Chains A and B, each alone.
Chain A
Amino acid sequence: MNVWIAIGLTAAGCYLAKLAGLLVPAGALERPLVQRLAALLPVALLAALTAQQTFADGQRLMVDARAAGLAAAAVALVLRAPFLVVVGAAVAVTAGVRALV
């Protein structure tokens, strides 16, 4: 039951967050500063999510095989590899490092 409460709250909260963004009147976005902020926020959040999911183990920081996987993804990105190759490289290198260490 607890799990269903969590699922219900998360689904409702996340949906309302998405909807709120779309419903803000266009006039509120005409100021250049607001526009620059809206363009820059995803950059900050995506960078933070990448770092968190690579280096966090719960509330602890650690460098493990995921870091090697992310490095592989970065190399693939620099080489302009397709999306699936980027993700595949990260997964394969992470699994490979774990198998070796």
Chain B
Amino acid sequence: MPAFATPQNAQRRLQPILRSKLIARLTTPHGVDRYLEQIDPLWSAFETRARVTEVTRQTADTVTLRLQPNANWQGFVPGQYLQLSVDIDGRRYTRCFSPANSCHAKDGHIELTARINPEGTLTRHLRDHAHAGMIVGLSQAAGDFALPAQRPERILLISGGSGITPVMSMLRSLCDEGHRGPITFLHYARSKEDQLYTEELEQLAARHANVTLLRSYEQGAGELYGRFSREQLESAAPDYADATTFLCGPPPMMAAVEAVWAADGLNAQLHRERFVVAASAPATAETTGGELRFVRSERLAVSDGATLLEQAEAAGLRPDYGCRMGICHACSCRKTTGRVRDIRDGRLSGDGEEDIQLCVSQPVGSVTLEL
């Protein structure tokens, strides 16, 4: 724990000074944040960071964090996501999560629930090591999956598994706002034990007459039975065509819902969020054939197996480079998705955002570069 924490509003009052040109000049070239963080990691003129204030485990394979963000957090719209960064054994890992809390929470806290991915470094670390007092990095909230400013009258929320978090935020926010229109909350889980926010959902439904809670479990009874189907939907929410629908869950469930909306020509009323990123190439895949996406220059190429530097040049780009043998780092570049293999030692990179050296990296599957 740092020596002292500063209340958010005191920090906000100081912000204009900390962000002033004079302070920037006095702290050149490092910048004021590199000094402030030595006193308290939450002190920052520009960066968003948060302290974990509470860790709970609602189900066997999830962990829920309550976060106190610093003054730079600008809030979020229910449904949006943020990027959470955690240092694990010296390396920074970043993953996306949707806040599950109401956007009207008075204490300014953020609540995130992560499902533990048995292969995932970050979520396993949170399961084993998340504790009150831990400091994490945050991005500002982003994403189009969000409640519109003009709230729709009739709202249908459909979620599965841990896909409940963004729609939970929508439901909690709407209840806090005293939304009058009918809200149907349709949720799919393996069993009652696997369901997140059980008690709170029941309380919300009991307290708000316009909220209908419908749950379906694979094992055991809920308000509904079985997987999503048109028949089930027509009995649960017969007016679904009049509703603005928000959908988030595992791919098979989402596909089933999307098929119904597509068949009825209702795509414009269906908002969806995918939690699962497109599967990354397995470690044994060839380095050819994947798609290379150069984001800044808006170019695409199909990998021919050469190094990324050579392929970028072949695509007509002029990335900065030096030694072309991996020692000078002149060609360091941000990779936003995909995996690369280091030609010097065959090491395979992670599939998240990280800096790589173009001259000694071959793509493994599809790769997106900030180039």
Partners in one complex: no
